[in-house]
Amino acid sequence: MFGLFSSVEKQMRANATNWLELADKIFNYRRDEISAADRADLQQKSEQLRAQLRDKADASKLKLGIEALEPAVRRAGGKFYPRSTIQEYVEFFVVAAIVILGLRAYFVQPFKIPTNSMWPTYYGMTGEVFASEKEEPGVVASAARLVAFGATRRSVDAPVDGDVWVPVSGNRIPSAVVPGRTWFVFPSRVQQITLRVGSELVTVQVPLDFKMDEVIEEAFFSAGAPRTQQVEAGFLPSSRAGQNIPVRWINTGKHVKKGERVLSFDVMTGDQLFVDRMSYHFVRPQVGSGFVFRTDNIRSPYLVDAGGRPVESYYIKRLVGTPGDKLEVRDSALLRNGEPITGSLAFDKNARQEGLYRGYKNQEALLEKKQVEVSTQGYYAMGDNSGNSLDSRYWGEVPYKDIVGRPLFIYYPFTKRWGPAR
């Protein structure tokens, strides 16, 4: 770091030492591969420069000695010298990867918010619906939205003239998990939703954690949208061979002509955070802190895959209870040990249902009791958007060993939430 302030002679001596180390490395590794003449020339020029260093020659003489050694190094260097541009790039990326993996494992880890369980503190993926093709941003605007907000377009065009129908199974829009692509390149699993235009089926694919129900509601059933009571019983093709899903087809009241937009929206990326992995090795997380944890050691039917295996994933929630705490929801407020919980602005805003905060929900049907006592072995986690959060009320406590760290900084997208995490 202080080399900039060294004398010219000292800098030249360091330069000469580096050249000699490279020459010695080439000689030791390639003495059996290079010709006798090149080997002798390399040794001779090396000894001349080494003698100049011993005699404490001035900078100008050392420079001449380096210039005499360099051609000999080039001729004998093989893969050591001169290095190709490709080699330099490979070395750079290998070193960068090692540094990044080290930081990720021990200090700071990037994390992407997939869902809106912590909304409005953190945003998961959301959809921005366009009422018509004319409202869609153009090429330049779409490129800018992609860079700034991670917005990616989804659109469906009508294959025939007809009404638009939406399938409903139970109280939700059914979907299938199918092979797809992330960023149009990387193989992935995606969620596929099927709609109907007249008698023809059309599909749209979105990320697995994306809430497509909200897009369908806004696009076809929001205030001012056409209303209809027409319902038909039918089936939807399943991803499992020979099986179909019984559904109710709901006529949205929207009629389209062949080639017209049926549905158009942008998938806006969720907040992406840097997570501090170091602090919780030394201090325990405090009530009110956001914290990231692993889920693979939480035994719950809510956290298993299709084969019944625990889901190996990362969640972010807010810590609301530590060992021994007694928790309950009264009206829209969360109580801890009989008093309004403190430690985060989100607690107060939820209690008052201020702004976008909707208040805490008890979910008594799941708890089967009004009060929960946290065991000595776990931590209790809840989402700020508790009415739309799968958290400890459903799957129980978080083991301390599975806590990864605390959110530090929202680095993407570039919205008003960019900056230190709350």
Instruction: With H, G, I as helix, E, B as strand and everything else as coil, classify residue 142.
Output: helix
Identity of residue 197: V
In angstroms, rounded to a whole number, what is the distance separating the alpha carbons of residues 79 and 77?
A: 6
Residue 141 identity (one-letter amino acid)? A
317 assigned to active site:
yes
Encoded tokens for 62? 């050392």
State yes or no: is 188 an active-site residue.
Answer: no
Tell me how far apart the 2 most distant CA atoms of the chain are, in Å. 99
Distance, CA of 118 to chain centre: 15
Read off the amino acid at residue 228: T
Nearest residue to 10 (alpha-carbon basis) of 51, 46, 71, 62: 62
Beta-carbon contacts of 82 under 8 Å, excluding residues fewer than 6 positions away, are 74
Pairwise CA distance, residues 297 & 365, whole Å: 24
* CA pair distance 113, 242, nearest whole angstrom: 36
Catalytic residue among 45, 46, 117, 264: 117
In what helix (H) or strand (E) does residue 50 lie, and over which residues does it extend?
Answer: helix 36-54
Alpha carbon dihedral 109, 110, 112, 117, in 10-degree steps, equals: 40
Secondary structure (3-state) at 394: helix
How many of the other CB atoms lie within 10 Å of CB of 183?
Answer: 8
CA angle 39–44–47, rounded 5-degree value: 125
73: CB partners within 8 A, 6+ apart: 19, 22, 23, 26, 42, 81
What CA–CA distance (Å, rounded) separates 15 from 151? 50
Q: Out of 317, 349, 386, 392, which one is annotated catalytic?
A: 317
Question: Which residues share a beta bridge with 244?
Answer: 237
Looking at the annotation, which residues are catalytic? Answer: 117, 317
